[in-house]
Amino acid sequence: MKWGRLLVLMLLTLLLVALAACSSGESDETGTTDESTNKSGEAAAGGVLRVAMSAQPPTLDQPTSTAVVVKDTGRLMFETLLTTDSKYQVVPMLAESFDVSDDSKDYVFHLRKGVKFHNGKEMKADDVVASMERWVEKSSVTGTIFDGATFKAEDDYTVTLALAKPSALTLDTLASAKMAAAIMPKEVIEEAGTEGVKDYIGTGPFEFVEWKRDQYIHFTKYDGYQPVEGEADGLAGKKEALVDDIYFDIVPDPSTRLAGLQTGQYDFAYSIPADNYDQLQNTPNIKPVLDNYGELVIFHNEQEGIASDFKIRQAVNTALDPEEIMLGTFTNEDLFWFDSSYMTNTIASWASDAGSKHYMVHDPEKTKEILNEIGYNDEKLKIMTTRDYPHLYNASVVIQEQLKEAGFNAELVIFDWPTFMDKQENDLGAWDILITGSSTVSTPTQLLYISSTFAGGIADPKTKELLAEIEVSASQEEAKQLWDELQGYAWEEHLPVSIIGGYYGLYGATDKVEGITTFSGPIYWNTSVKK
């Protein structure tokens, strides 16, 4: 019965996606030709990389948004003092080196000299201080680590950070790729209003040219870029712009993105539906590209509506069958895995099995008992989702069916991605649960769904208390013990999220694209396109 029902759900999902595709219009074509390959067809510097992006970014102001598309485009033009290599080790980027005091409260960053912003101005300490102060104010990944902290320009190439209290997580947080601590010119920071910065100016290998809403975002090679030495590794090492221009075409319809790959209109495409994985593997001129993204989760609205009741969250979690959801969403076992850890298994130093007995429960009858116990009276449970990301929409369809079977009056509330993001933060009455991806981060305090700001913030006092203790831990060992306690408590008594499983992001590339890698998303520097 289970597999029969799964087949029906998969067929229903495919039908809904097909109908959505039929109703979607294609984006405008703004193609240019690549004349920069040599006669042998080998990759050479120059030309254009055309990327089909599935969703319109809400902004390009990297420190202010959790959206993946903001991170992926932002890091072309913005850089940070520190970054991480492929093993999530912290290494310098715009800092040449750094020193840490014995008590882990004082940090000295020695800046690289001669680094130029895209407007031609040299990056100096005043720019870094202004950028870091704004990052602490705007980014959700900073937690309480920098409460009371001060950044100071000691001279043109030296910045100090004085923490009010030590934290073993400081460097990892400074190097985070999520809502990153992007360094911008001081004057750009000072002119930024409540809507964000007005000019997108950084130090990265590509500079911003134009954003034509709902059509494309255009970046061009920055000829004045100053790369660091060393082999490229994760987000660290040498970055080289091997193409002259990158266009991110906004293409919400997945069938249009895939067709564009096949015809060569696009070189690279986001959010390829899992159903097309085998097709990518078996089509001669295109190939799949996988990225260890993170986890598929249900985020519960603790602030408003029926999910603010822990018993409702418990009932939802008890009803879920992660195996059916992941198979119905991704269809191929190459694309997902099961794991109860809030931190993905990629980060071995934080992975935990605390509370795992509450994962993959799948007991609809127990769910009905919980609902009867609290007097649930068929109130609507609003599931917010989007068709702009097929895996989120497909998962939502299966989850809705499971919750209905367990006794919930579950309703899908569907928005385009920018509206989804807006309502996630600013209209908590529009949804009770939402289906989202939680990307890999290097410390638990960077997990947005247990932060004090994401989607209304965590309402649970003990979770806040334990997070604060983790942030001021003097050692990794102490922090890990506290994290095990917090994760066990979250599964047992809080349930800010219900984890479904880990998954890979699926992208598509033509065989013209060479050198592209992924690390918390595609990396477009050191990538070339051959004719």
In three-state secondary structure terms, 128 is: helix
Q: Cα separations (Å) of 67 from 58, 71, 99, 166, 423?
A: 8, 7, 32, 30, 13
Q: CB atoms < 10 A from the CB of 181, how many?
A: 26
| pLDDT of amino acid 531 | 74
Q: pLDDT at position 218, please?
A: 98
The two three-digit tokens of residue 70, written as one number: 């903001």
Q: Are strands 268-269 and 48-53 parallel, antiparallel or unpaired?
A: parallel
The predicted structure's pLDDT at residue 35: 37
Rounded Cα distance between 433 and 447, Å, is 17
Per-residue b/e over 257-266, b at no fewer than 16 CB within 10 Å?
bbbbbeeebb
Amino acid at site 230: G
Note the pTM of the prediction, 2 decimals. 0.77
Give the span between the Cα atoms of 495 and 299, in whole angstroms: 9
Task: Please tell me the number of Cα atoms within 13 Å of 96 on its side-chain side.
Answer: 13
Q: In what order do the strands lie in the sheet with 95-100?
A: 95-100, 106-111, 158-162, 150-155
Give the other-Cβ count within 10 Å of 477's Cβ.
Answer: 11
Structure-token match 């809030």, residue found = 342
The Cα 70–Cα 73 span in angstroms is 5
Report yes or no on 328 lying in a domain. yes
Rounded to whole angstroms, how far apart are CA atoms 186 and 129? 8
Exposed e or buried b per residue across 84-111, where buried means at least 16 C-beta atoms within 10 angstroms of its C-beta: bbeebebbbbbbeebeeeeebbebebeb
Domain that holds residue 468: 2-15+292-505
Is residue 6 situated within a structural domain? yes
Residue 326: inside a domain: yes
Inter-CA distances, 264 with 208, 505, 510, Å? 24, 21, 7
Q: Which residues is 99 bridged to in the sheet?
A: 108
Q: Is position 251 within any domain?
A: no
Q: How many helices (H) and strands (E) does the chain have?
A: 14, 21
Asked if residue 223 belongs to a domain, the reply is no
Domain count for the chain, please give it.
1
Rg (CA), the chain: 23
Q: Which residues contact 273 (CB under 8 A, 6 or more apart)?
A: 17, 254, 258, 390, 391, 394, 506
452, with CB counted inside 10 A (0-12, 13-18, 19+), is: middle
In a domain, 393, yes or no: yes
Cα separation, 432 vs 428, whole angstroms: 8
| Contact between 153 and 128 (Cβ < 8 Å) | yes
Q: Can you spell out the DSSP letters for 383-439?
A: EEE-SSSHHHHHHHHHHHHHHHHTT-EEEEEE--HHHHHHHHHH-GGG-SEEEEEEE
Q: Would you say residue 23 lies in a domain?
A: no
Q: What is the mean pLDDT of each run of 10 residues along the chain (531 residues)?
A: 47 45 37 38 73 91 89 96 92 97 93 97 98 93 89 98 92 91 97 88 98 96 95 95 97 94 96 92 93 92 95 97 96 93 85 94 96 96 94 96 97 94 93 91 84 82 91 86 96 96 94 93 95 74
CATH code at 354? 3.10.105.10
**Residue 236 near residue 85 (C-beta atoms within 8 A):** yes
Please, where are the H alpha helices in 427-490?
A: 461-471, 476-489
- The number of residues making up the chain comes to 531
Per-residue CA distances from 97 to 39, 83, 110 (Å): 43, 12, 5
